[in-house]
Structure 1
Amino acid sequence: MTRTGAGDRQRPPRVHPVLAAALLAAGCAATGTESTGWTVTVYYTAVAELHHGPPQLVRGCPVLDCAHGSAELGSFPADFVAAVRSEGAGRIAVGKYLNWSSDTGFWLDTAARDTAGRPLRPWRSAAADDLAPGTRVRLTGCGQGAEQAVCDRLSAGEWTISDAFTPGLGGAKHVDLYVGEESGPDFTNDPMFTTLHGASLRTG
């Protein structure tokens, strides 16, 4: 399946949680009303065992509280490493994650995290530039770009803004919904990995 907008969509990298907690104070207050014209995307945690590209050595920080490390973190499938760069996190084993942010590079962790350092919650965590942290979000209309089953699943989610784009890259009226770990090989061709245009949200 060709995903709507797949050719021009760029995944905005997220800010490292240790350095970015202050960003969560930014944003507009929730309106408590429904608004239209939103772009809705989804993000996920990659899973190493679902990728089979050539091995790529990754260097970075062996712990969370570190920046621009150069330690050898291990070799992982190159397509998995690319997915971690795109989505921000990947599970390499039970309870072990390779995470990435644009301001600090790769690091090893025990969870996929939001910008405040809290574990991401599938079907609960979301990111936005112009909604305040803690704002509750419900998708009330999918606009264009999703199959009905996908629209129904996303509309059933109860999302809270707890994550953030790198400043300047998310954009106005753009919300990113976290759907958890990828569910199978080639997840980016799954209908769930969608982009909705002209969607409606209720916030507050």
Structure 2
Amino acid sequence: MTAPPMTTPPATPAPPGRRPRPTSVRRLFVVLAGLLIPAVLGYLGLRLHHRLNTIDMPPGDTAPQGGYTLTVYFTPSEAYYHGPQRSIRRQVCPGQNLPDAFPTDYLERVGMEGFGKTARGDYLGWDFDRHCYFATGRPPVGSHDNPLVPWQSVAANHLSPGTRIRVTDCGPGVPGETCTRVKAAHWRVDDLCSIGCDTARHLDLYIGEQTRTAIEDETYYFITKAATIRAQAPEALRR
């Protein structure tokens, strides 16, 4: 049995008023769609990442927000620590020239606070990512390599860098004189909180370098869990 002759189906006429789309144009649309879809998905992915890691504050001051935990952090000074010496020879960052050992209690503080002033006048830093010590002549810096300013810099994990903070109520347990100073300060998010800041409503306030031995006994070394704040987005996010 012979195969039936090949036939070409009749072309379907185009609807009135609409011209048939040429093949080259159709290909162009396919190429453009292939380029546009990944770009849109990439943009949405970046937006989602931003949403998961920061809270965009609306323009101007927000309404007071309660339920904030406030803690403080500082730069420990080796002069006030006298524990047994501990070697850091195997924990020195590559290319660094550091003393072999420091007081153990001092190193514990540096590992928690991020930086410490040494007896020789420079600073010992702890790299949280590489887990090693390094030396620097610069005062402590924040997560964006910006200088930390006492009674101004704030470490937070869920607010955009540059967000301005005003504490309107310290919550219970903060001495009156200390609370007055905290409320009068113009705080700003300059750093990330590497230890202890597990919730969005946790701010770590930087109070500067240690000047006394028992800093935990000072009135300005406090923890409160019911503070109220007002926040203002950075200028760049309000445009």
Query: 2:56, 2:196 → 1: CA distance?
Result: 19
- Amino acid paired to 2:73: Y
Of 133, 151, 167 in structure 2, the residue corresponding to residue 106 of structure 1 is 133
Give the SS at the match of 1:185: coil
Q: Does the 8 A contact of 2:96 with 2:135 survive in 1? A: no
Query: In the TM superposition, what is the alpha-carbon distance from 1:101 to its structure 2 partner?
Result: 3.2
Asked whether the equivalents of residues 116 and 163 of structure 1 are also in contact (C-alpha less than 8 Å), the reply is: yes
Residues 1:77 and 2:107 are matched in the alignment: no
Q: Structure 1: how far apart are the matches of 2:196 and 2:77?
A: 28
Whole-Å separation in 2 of the counterparts to 1:190 and 1:168: 21
- 2:76 pairs, out of 32, 46, 50, with 46
- Of the structure 1 ranges 39-48 and 186-195, higher mean CA displacement relative to structure 2 is found in 186-195
Question: Which one has a larger percent strand, Structure 1 or Structure 2?
Answer: 1
Count of residues in Structure 1 that have an aligned counterpart in Structure 2: 175
Distance 1:187 1:162, change over 3 A: same
State the one-letter code of the partner of 1:43: Y
Residue number in structure 1 paired with 2:156: 128
Q: Between Structure 1 and Structure 2, which shows a larger proportion of helix residues? A: 2
Runs of 4+ in 1 over 4 A off after TM superposition: none
- SS at 2:88's partner residue? strand
| Aligned ranges 1:78-97 → 2 under 5 Å | 78-93=104-119, 96-97=122-123
- CA-CA distance at 1:69 after TM superposition: 3.5
1:190 to 209, 218, 225: 218
Residues 37-94 of structure 1 show CA distances to partners (whole Å, capped at 9, x for unaligned) of 1000010000011111112222444xxxxxx548662222211111101111100146
Partner of residue 209, structure 2:
181
Distance 1:116 1:126 in 2: 13
2:17 maps to none
- After superposition, the CA RMSD in angstroms is 2.4
Give how far 1:147 is off: 1.1
Q: Contact 1:57/1:72 (CA < 8 Å) preserved in 2? A: no
| Counterpart-to-counterpart distance in 2, 1:167 and 1:99 | 15
| Aligned pairs (5 A) from 1:140-151 | 140-151=168-179
Unaligned runs of 5+ in 1: 1-22, 62-67
Identity across matched positions, percent: 33
Q: Whole-Å Cα distance in 1 between the matches of residues 157 and 80 of structure 2?
A: 31
The alignment's TM-score, normalised by the length of structure 2, stands at 0.67
Deviation at 1:190, TM superposition (A): 1.9
Q: Is the 8 A contact 1:145 1:197 kept in 2?
A: no
**TM-superposition CA deviations, 1:85-140 (whole Å, max 9, x none):** 11111001465100113212211112211111122111111111221111001111
Match of 1:171 among 193, 199, 205: 199
Which amino acid counterpart does residue 88 of structure 1 have in structure 2?
A: G
Distance 1:153 1:168 in 2: 24
Partner secondary structure for residue 199 of structure 1? strand
**160-169 vs 38-47, which moves further:** 160-169
Which ranges in structure 2 are unaligned for 5 or more consecutive residues? 1-49, 233-239
Shift in Å at residue 27 of structure 1?
1.3
Which residue identity is paired with 1:85?
G
Pairs within 5 Å for 1:15-26: 26=53
CA distance in 2 between partners of 1:94 and 1:51 (Å): 14
Q: Distance in 1 between matches of 2:141 and 2:198?
A: 18
